[in-house]
Amino acid sequence: MKNKTLEWLAERLDELRLHLSRPDALIQLALLGLVTGLLAGGIIVAFRVAVEGAQAGFLPGGLSENYEALPLWARFLLPVVGGAIIGWIFYRHANGLHVLGVARVMERMAYHQGHLTLREFVLQFVGAAVAIISGHSVGREGSHIYLGAASGSLLGQYLTLPNNSIRTMVGCGTAAGIAASFNTPLAGVIFALEVVMMEYTLASFIPVILAAVSATAVSYSVFGGEPAFAVPEMQLGSLGEMPLVLLLGLVVGMFSSLFNQMIESVAVRARNVPFWWRATLAGVIVGLFAMVVPEVMGIGYDTVNAALLGEIGLALLAVLTITKLLATVASVGMGIPGGMIGPSLFIGATLGSLMGLSVQMILPQMQIDVSFYALLGMGAMMGASLQAPLAALTAMMELTHSPQIIMPGMLVIVVAALTASELFRKESLFITMLKASGLDYNANPVMQALRRIGVASVMGKSFERPDSVVERSDAETLLEKGPEWLLVQGEEGPVALMPALDLARFLQENQEVQEIDLMAIPARRDEVAPVHIQATLQEAMELLESRGVQSLYVERTTAPGIQRIYGVLTREQVESAYRY
């Protein structure tokens, strides 16, 4: 009875895999998105509890970001020791891993169909936790995104789902990471589609939405529904301030480009330095800054809140902006595992607040809302440094719950993003980190389209597997089954694919022949290579090119040493699927 139940479950799972290979398997993908969101939300909650619990345990007053109250020696030693611990962990276990976080997710999506590993998951969890607890200038959002994406990827791999479905589950985990970080589910959806998946289709939109909502619900149930930042009511004073908004966009765009360039320069120069020394050196640099300006330690959400509430003076804002930038460049450029979104928001908030206060002093007759410019600076810095303008605008809207932010927000984000990308020719921080690590990123639109479709949804299932030499009677019996293709078997497996029609024509024209060599008769014969049933059409196309063949047979290991062939796939079928 137990064996029959297991067989029934295996058959149902096989049916699910075949269905998920299609790009329009909405109901199944929606369910997977929901499950991924719940799983990712739980892991992100565990990460936050671990980090904030550790911080509350040793920081004065039991406050999770109260690094300012630490004595001078502790502010220096904490990031140094943290860097040394991270260096030792990665030296022992990273095995040449160059980059984690969002950049790693993007690289795995581009070249490995979203397959992330359990080892990297553990390294990200432990490494980022140590980095944040020890006061390194990194954020938690990048770690949340990676942990969420890895949750979806590992679940899909465990169920041996098609790779196109695993890619969608990675997008679901990405959305869950952003949504659970800020209680901003819509921003999570837009970020996943805009930055990681780079596609807007119904089949990806629905599961990603469900993942973001479910992850937010999990986070809400543990931490409450308060947004990440204390945003007061604010709005644009008058249309006369629009030139100031434009100027802020230009300033933030230039600052973002500087930020990007400095991280790239440090990362390139540090690439050949042993990670142990890099991580420890990053700790020394952050520790030196922290002795003078303790606000640079950790994520810095408390400082962002103070900037949003207009509680920081002009001189301190200038110092915070510069020191946070330098500390983040040291941490991120040296390879400390953590996020870049949090520091970007910090720098944007202090830069925007700095400009608002400056204008207030120069033009006291203008009723400038400093908090408003701090928020605009956050959105502009996020949009420019990550090259994710729509995600940045959506995050601003969800944080403020105010439609009045839309018009100035659109202007400042677009100007900042254009300044960085067009005037200074800077790509997103994630792509910059990939290239600085010696990796590349390919966003070819043709490949994007092929990645959305699994080979199982396109393969031909009407085929038979005759030996290379068959008797006439066997050939006639075989053709009576009406196959479209013949996958000719050699001594060690399939050797060629030919149309069954060619064999039928040969039999009709040669009535006297009793033994037929399928490799010798006049017919179209394509050399073949195997492709796994999990593969996408992109992988199939790459295999066709690399092996120099015209056709593939789709297989999967059903038991040790036993391969089951599910169908055949020709180059024409792959190209037709892309065109239509």
pLDDT per residue as tens digits for the range 357-404: 999 899 888 888 888 999 999 999 999 999 999 999 998 888 877 778
Question: Quick one: what percent of the chain has pLDDT higher than 90?
Answer: 62
d(CA 486, CA 499): 6
Statement: residue 580 has pLDDT above 60:
no
| Helical segments of 488-568, H only | 500-509, 537-547
Q: What is the CATH number of the domain that holds 522?
A: 3.10.580.10
Which of 426, 443, 460 is the endpoint of a domain?
443
Q: What is the mean pLDDT of residues 436-443?
A: 72
For residue 235, is it within any domain? Answer: no
Residues 310 and 395 occupy one common structural domain: yes
pLDDT in tens, 525-569: 999 999 999 899 989 999 999 999 999 999 987 777 778 899 999
Residues 434 and 307 occupy one common structural domain: yes
Residues 127 and 41 occupy one common structural domain: yes
- Placement of tokens 């290379």 in the chain: 468
Q: Work out the mean pLDDT of the chain and round it to a whole number.
A: 90
Residues 172 and 247 occupy one common structural domain: yes
Number of domains, the chain: 2
Start-to-end CA distance of the chain, whole Å, equals 46
Which of 420, 443, 466 is the endpoint of a domain?
443
Instruction: Check: CB of residue 320 under 8 Å from CB of residue 275.
Output: no
**Any residues with CB less than 8 A from the CB of 406 and at least 6 apart, and which?**
393, 397
pLDDT in tens, 249-302: 999 999 999 999 999 999 999 888 888 899 999 999 999 999 999 999 988 888
For residue 1, is it within any domain? Answer: no
Residue 442 is predicted with a pLDDT of 67
Instruction: Check: CB of residue 181 under 8 Å from CB of residue 52.
Output: no
Residues 307 and 434 occupy one common structural domain: yes
Instruction: Check: CB of residue 441 under 8 Å from CB of residue 569.
Output: no
Residues 299 and 422 occupy one common structural domain: yes
Q: Which domain holds residue 424?
A: 10-225+240-443
**Burial state string for 8-24 with b = 16 or more CB within 10 A and e = fewer than 16:** eeeeeebebbbbbbbbe
Residues 110 and 247 occupy one common structural domain: yes
Instruction: Check: CB of residue 337 under 8 Å from CB of residue 86.
Output: yes
Q: How far is CA 474 from CA 421, 504, 515, 565, in A?
A: 66, 12, 10, 21
pLDDT in tens, 174-198: 999 999 988 889 999 999 998 888 8
pTM above 0.85?
Answer: yes
Residues 488 and 546 occupy one common structural domain: yes
- 3 state SS of 142: helix
Residues 40 and 175 occupy one common structural domain: yes
